[in-house]
Every structure is written in C-alpha cells, then in structure tokens.
Amino acid sequence: MKRNKPVLIFLIGFMGSGKTTVGKLMAKQLGYEFVDTDSSISQQMNRSIPEIFHELGEQGFRKLEHEWLLRLNEFTENTVIATGGGMPCHQYRLNRMLRNGKVVYLKIDVKSILKRIDQSKDNRPLLQGLSLDKKTKKVTRLLKKRRKYYEQADVVISSLEAKKIDYKALLK
C-alpha cells in the first residue's frame, strides 16, 4: 500500500507578520502539526536565536536554515511550518519550499511591522540596538529586498486579516 506524501504548508513573511501565531491557528483548524523553524533551530543548537546570530552571524544562521530545509523528508505528518523572515530569501530555499508544499505569504506593511515588533517581547537580532528611525529605514529596505521572494508564494494573504480566514477553504 502506497502512503500519500504529507502535506506541508510554509508560512513566509517579514518578522512580525504573525507567522507563528497564524501557523498555530492554521494547524489547529486543519488538524495538522505545527513547526516553527526558528524554535526548531534554537532547540537543535541549544541557544536562542539572538545567541546564534551573535556567535555565527547572519550568514551562519542562514546556513542553519538551509540545513533545516534539507531535512524536509523527515516530515511524516501534515504540517504547517512557520519560517524565519529571511529563510525564503534565497531562490534555492524558496524553490525547495515551493516544490515540497504550499507556500503562503503573510503580507504586512512597514508601519504594522514596527508596531508589532515594538509590542513584542521577542529580541530581533537584525534590529537590536537601533533607534526608531534606523529601525524604520532597515525594515523598509529589507522588506523591499525580500518582497521579490515573498511574492512568489502560492497564496498571498494580508497579515492583518489572517486570523479571520477559513484555511480549509483557502488551501483547497
């Protein structure tokens, strides 16, 4: 008897777009497992994401994300995967996601990103120690650079509307 390949749904988008929150909601609604790549990498390394960034730099962290994606065949259950904001921002990594599942982009504007990051207790290594003005400029620049990857997703939804969506209907 041939077993069907598990369904993988990748949530992509900028930091603060709600990938983890929406991912948990989506997984519950669909009856899927949920995985957060940042949490998975942090657990694997036995260090927080800021510690990993401090020790390995952004390039070292991206290498860990790349290695994480190479293990997709380990998934045996239908799973919603919340990725780090930069994970899909390399064409090879994004293509791997597109080939192995459905990619959903949580689209969000700069003002909402800054508001959510300011309210969050999470430490964002790429924005650590920056003034509001410098954070705004960096978020604007990074979002513009990353948009070309994010917009290749199979489905694009507004991050601000994401909690109100019927995911069973959306992902058919």
With respect to residue 12, please indicate whether it lies within any of the assigned structural domains: yes
With respect to residue 1, please indicate whether it lies within any of the assigned structural domains: no
67 lies in which domain range?
8-163
In tens, the pLDDT along 6-22 reads 789 999 999 889 999 99
CA angle 155, 39, 18 (to 5 degrees): 40
Given a cut of 70, is residue 72 above it in pLDDT?
Answer: yes
Q: How many CB atoms neighbour CB 138 within 10 A?
A: 13
Q: How many CB atoms neighbour CB 126 within 10 A?
A: 14
Q: The domain spanning residue 53 has which CATH number?
A: 3.40.50.300
In tens, the pLDDT along 34-69 reads 999 999 999 999 998 888 988 998 899 999 999 999
Count of structural domains within the chain? 1
Question: Could you tell me the two tokens for 151?
Answer: 């917009």
> Residue 145 class from Cβ within 10 Å (0-12 exposed, 13-18 middle, 19+ buried)?
exposed
Identify the pLDDT of residue 114. Answer: 86
Taking every pair of Cα atoms in the chain, the longest distance, rounded to a whole number of angstroms, is 59
Given a cut of 70, is residue 121 above it in pLDDT?
Answer: no
